[in-house]
Chains A and B, each alone.
Chain A
Amino acid sequence: MSTPTTTPGYAGSPPPSPDRPAAPADVLRIDGLHVQVGDLELLTDVDLTVRRGERVGLIGESGSGKSLTALSIMGLLPESLEARGSIAVTGVGGRHTQVVGAAERELAAMRGRDVTMVFQEPMTALNPTMRVGDQVAEVMRIHHTVPDRRAAGARAVELLDKVGLPDPAEAARAYPHQLSGGQRQRVVVAIALANDPALLICDEPTTALDVTVQALVLDLIVRGVEARDAGMLFITHDLAVVASVCERVLVMYGGRVVEAGPVHDVFTTPRHRYTRGLIGASDLDLTRPDGRLYTIQGSVPSAGRFPAGCVFRNRCIHATVECESVPPWEGPGPEDGFACFHPVVVRS
C-alpha cells in the first residue's frame, strides 16, 4: 500500500497485448481477461467493448462474474486476485490506460475521472461522517477539474441540483444518514458524473431502491450519460432494465461471456441455453404446462466450482458428451455470438 509503483492485484500480468489496439471510439476494450485466485479461475477469456455514447448491458445470475468484471475495469480487485489479459481504457481527452499491470498512481488518476462507478448499495456507499456536498466536491478536487475549494463546493451544489435533490444547498450540508436511500443514490450518481467521465460503470444501481424510485434514478443515469456522450456498462440481473436502457447486451455465466448481441435480438431469439433459461425465468407471463413459472434447474455453483467444458452443462437438459469440451464462440465477432453446442435457434 505504501509503495505506489506496484499493483498487488495485478502482479505477474503480462504486458498489454499489442495485437488489438483500441479503436478511437472505444472507451473500453477488454481482450481475453482472466481473473484467478490461486488455481481457481473466476473469470475466463472475457471480451467486452464499450464505445463512446454506447450503453452495454452485462447480465447473469449472482456469482456469474459481473461485479468482478466491473472491479477489474476499475483496477479495484482484492489483493489476492490476479488478472491477466488486457483492459484498455481510453479516457477523457484520449488518455490511454492499460489497467492490467498498471501502477496504483496511474489507476488512481483514471478512477473517478476517465471511469467512474455507481455501486449497488447507496446506504453504505457514502462516508457517514462527511457532509454530502464535500463528498461530491472531493472527486473534483482530487482530479483538479475545478480551480479551487470554493468552486468545487459551488459545482457540487449545482450537481446535486441536477440529480434532482430538492433544496440542493441544504442537501450539500447534510450527512448521508439525513437522506433517503433514493436521495443517497442520486448523490452517488452526482459523484460519478461530476468529472464528465468517458465511461460510467453501474453495478446494480437500482436493485436496493424502492420500485417507485428505481425508474427515476435510472432515468437520471441515462440522461447524465447521454448528455456527456459517455459510454456505459450496466450490470444487472433485471432484464427489463437492460431492455429499456441498453443497446447491446452480454450474458455472463460461470465467469465467461456465453452470449452477446443487440438487446432486441438476444431477448427475442436467445441462442445459448442459459440465456434462454434466464429469459424464461424472468418472464412472469410464461408458465409451464403445470402452471408454475419457468426456472433454471439447480443453482449457480460457488466461484471456481463450475464444470469443465461448457460451464452450464450441469444445469442444462440439452447437455451431451460433447459439452465436456469448451464450446467455441460462434458469430461474427465478440459483440455478437454465443458459445453453445446445442443452441436454441440460429439466426441468419
Chain B
Amino acid sequence: MLLRLAERTAILLVSLAVSSLLVFGFMVLLPGDPARVALGVNANDELVATLRHEYGLDRPIATQYLDWVGGLLRFDLGRSYISKAEIAPQIADRLQVSLILVAASMVIALLIAMPFGTYMAVRHQRPSGLILSAISQIGVAVPAFLAGILLITVFAVQLGWLPSGGWTPPVQDPALFAKQLILPTLSLGLVQGAVLTRYVRSAVLDVLREDYLRTARAKGLTPMRALVGHGIRNAAVPVVTVLGLQLATLLIGAVVIERVFFIPGLGSLLLDAVGNRDLIVVQDVVMVLVVAVLVVNFIVDLLYLAIDPRLRTGAR
C-alpha cells in the first residue's frame, strides 16, 4: 500500500517536471519575439534589445527555465509583458472562480448521474429505463453553451428569476454570488451529468451481471440493498475515471460558458492572453492547467487504491 502511494507520488513529480519542460520548450520554440510583439513591428532594434534585457530574454535558455520553475515553486509567476501586472494574483483569482464553477457543476452532474444512471441500469429492459436513456442521449448531444443560452432565455429573460450573467465574489455578496452561479452551473452540470449518467448506467449494468451480486441476493438482500451494499463500490472505479477526465477538461473547457455568462474564469484569462500575445501569461496559465490535470489524476489514482483492495497489492 505504502509502495503504491510512493509510486503514484513519484509519477506525479516526474510528470510535473517533464510537463514544465514541455510547456517552456513550446513557448521558446514559438516564433515571434515577445519584446518585438510588445513594441510593435516598427520599433528600433535598440529599444527591443533593452526590453529583452528587461524581460531577461537575453539570458541563456537554461537560466530562463530554471528562473521560471523557481518562480513557480515560490508562486511567483512573473509580470505580464503587456500590463506589467503581477501574474500570480491574477491567476489565483481566476482559478478560484473556475474551481467554484467546475466543482459546483460536477456536484450537479453527480446528483443527476448517480440516481438516474442507476435507475436506467436497473430498468434497462423496461420502457421507463429506455425513455430515460433516450433523454440522456439528447443531453449528451446538446452543447453546454446552447443549454446556457436556453436557460438564460427562460429564467433570466422571460421569467426574470435569475441574473443572466456576471460574477460576484462570495465574500462580497453571498446571495448574489449564489444567484449568479445557478444558471452557469446548471448549463455545465446538466450536460456533464448526461454524459456521466451513461457511464454510471453501464458501470451499474456490469455490476448487476456479477456473480457476487447474485450471492448478495442469495444471502437475503433485496435487489436495491444488494446493489447499494455490494454494487456501488465496484461500480465506482469506471465512474471515478470519467469524473476525473470531466473535471480536468472542464477547468479549461468551461471557457465558452464563462463567455456566455460573463464569468472571469481561467479559460477567459487564457483566451485574452493568447489574443494579446502575452506569452508569459499563456505559459503560466497553461502550466497551472497542467498541474491541475496532473493533480486530479493523482487524486483519481488514490481513489482507485481506496476503492479496490486488489490494486493496493499490485497483484491483479
A125 within 8 Å of B (CB atoms): yes
Interface residues of B in 202-230 (CB under 8 A from A): 210-212, 214-224, 229-230
Query: Pick the contact of A129 from B211, B214, B217, B308 — CB < 8 Å?
Result: B308
Q: Which residues of B contact A159 (CB under 8 A)?
A: none
Cβ contact within 8 Å between B215 and A177: no
Q: Which residues of B contact A125 (CB under 8 A)?
A: 211-212, 214-215
Contact A121 B218, CB 8 Å, known A79-B125, A129-B309, A177-B310: no
Cβ contact within 8 Å between A119 and B220: no
Closest chain A residue, CB of each to CB of B230:
A127
Q: Which residues of B contact A142 (CB under 8 A)?
A: 219-221
A29 within 8 Å of B (CB atoms): no
Q: Which residues of B contact A178 (CB under 8 A)?
A: 313
A17 within 8 Å of B (CB atoms): no
Contact A119 B222, CB 8 Å, known A127-B234, A130-B230: no
Q: Which residues of A contact B308 (CB under 8 A)?
A: 128-129
> Contacting chain B: which of A101-109, A149-157, A163-171?
A101-109
Query: Pick the contact of A109 from B220, B233, B309 — CB < 8 Å?
Result: B220
B156 within 8 Å of A (CB atoms): no
Contact with B along A93-125 (1 / 0, CB 8 A): 000000000001100111111001101010011
Contact with A along B231-270 (1 / 0, CB 8 A): 0011000000000000000000000000000000000000
Closest chain A residue, CB of each to CB of B213:
A127
User: Please, how many angstroms separate the alpha-carbon atoms of A74 and B220 in the complex?
Assistant: 10
Contact A76 B214, CB 8 Å, known A111-B219, A128-B308, A129-B309: yes
User: Please, how many angstroms separate the alpha-carbon atoms of A3 and B172 in the complex?
Assistant: 48
Cβ contact within 8 Å between A4 and B310: no
User: Please, how many angstroms separate the alpha-carbon atoms of A143 and B225 in the complex?
Assistant: 14
Query: Pick the contact of A128 from B123, B212, B217, B219 — CB < 8 Å?
Result: B212
Q: Which residues of A contact B296 (CB under 8 A)?
A: none
Q: Chain B nearest CB: distance from A159 CB in Å?
A: 14
Q: Which residues of A contact B230 (CB under 8 A)?
A: 127, 130
Q: Chain A nearest CB: distance from B284 CB in Å?
A: 41
Cβ contact within 8 Å between A188 and B122: no
Cβ contact within 8 Å between B218 and A74: yes
B62 within 8 Å of A (CB atoms): no
Interface size range of chain A in the complex: 35 or more
Cβ contact within 8 Å between A104 and B223: yes
Cβ contact within 8 Å between A191 and B219: yes
User: Please, how many angstroms separate the alpha-carbon atoms of A208 and B245 in the complex?
Assistant: 39
User: Please, how many angstroms separate the alpha-carbon atoms of A61 and B214 in the complex?
Assistant: 23
Q: Which residues of A contact B212 (CB under 8 A)?
A: 124-128
Closest chain A residue, CB of each to CB of B122:
A1
Cβ contact within 8 Å between A119 and B219: no
Q: Chain A nearest CB: distance from B301 CB in Å?
A: 17
Query: Pick the contact of B215 from A1, A110, A188 — CB < 8 Å?
Result: A188
Q: Which residues of A contact B211 (CB under 8 A)?
A: 119, 121, 124-125
B307 within 8 Å of A (CB atoms): yes
Cβ contact within 8 Å between B214 and A4: no
Cβ contact within 8 Å between B220 and A139: yes
Q: Which residues of B contact A4 (CB under 8 A)?
A: 222
Q: Which residues of B contact A158 (CB under 8 A)?
A: none
Q: Chain A nearest CB: distance from B233 CB in Å?
A: 5
User: Please, how many angstroms separate the alpha-carbon atoms of A124 and B221 in the complex?
Assistant: 18
Closest chain B residue, CB of each to CB of A113:
B220
A226 within 8 Å of B (CB atoms): no
User: Please, how many angstroms separate the alpha-carbon atoms of A264 and B229 in the complex?
Assistant: 45
Q: Which residues of B contact A129 (CB under 8 A)?
A: 233-234, 307-309
A229 within 8 Å of B (CB atoms): no
Cβ contact within 8 Å between B217 and A1: no
Cβ contact within 8 Å between B210 and A108: no
B315 within 8 Å of A (CB atoms): yes
Closest chain A residue, CB of each to CB of B215:
A125
Q: Which residues of A contact B210 (CB under 8 A)?
A: 124
User: Please, how many angstroms separate the alpha-carbon atoms of A117 and B233 in the complex?
Assistant: 24
Q: Which residues of A contact B307 (CB under 8 A)?
A: 129
Cβ contact within 8 Å between A127 and B309: no
Cβ contact within 8 Å between A1 and B218: no
Q: Which residues of A contact B315 (CB under 8 A)?
A: 177
Closest chain B residue, CB of each to CB of A80:
B125
A138 within 8 Å of B (CB atoms): yes
Contact A1 B219, CB 8 Å, known A125-B211, A129-B234, A130-B230: no
A2 within 8 Å of B (CB atoms): yes
Q: Which residues of B contact A329 (CB under 8 A)?
A: none
Interface residues of B in 280-316 (CB under 8 A from A): 307-310, 313, 315
Interface residues of A in 59-113 (CB under 8 A from B): 74, 76, 79-80, 104-105, 108-113
Interface residues of A in 21-50 (CB under 8 A from B): none
Q: Which residues of B contact A294 (CB under 8 A)?
A: none
Cβ contact within 8 Å between B216 and A127: yes
Query: Pick the contact of A112 from B125, B218, B224 — CB < 8 Å?
Result: B218
Cβ contact within 8 Å between B224 and A1: yes
A175 within 8 Å of B (CB atoms): yes
Q: Which residues of A contact B122 (CB under 8 A)?
A: 1
Q: Which residues of B contact A74 (CB under 8 A)?
A: 218
Query: Given A124-B210, A177-B310, 4 more contacts at CB 8 Å?
Result: A108-B217, A119-B214, A125-B211, A128-B309
**21 A-B contacts, Cβ less than 8 Å apart?**
A1-B122, A1-B224, A74-B218, A76-B217, A108-B222, A111-B217, A111-B220, A119-B215, A121-B211, A125-B214, A126-B215, A127-B215, A127-B216, A127-B234, A129-B307, A129-B308, A129-B309, A138-B229, A142-B221, A177-B309, A191-B215
Residues of A at the B interface (CB closer than 8 Å) are 1-2, 4, 74, 76, 79-80, 104-105, 108-113, 116-117, 119, 121, 124-130, 138-139, 142-143, 175, 177-178, 188, 191
Residues of B at the A interface (CB closer than 8 Å) are 122-123, 125, 210-212, 214-224, 229-230, 233-234, 307-310, 313, 315
4 closest residue pairs by CB, A with B: A112-B220, A124-B211, A112-B219, A175-B309
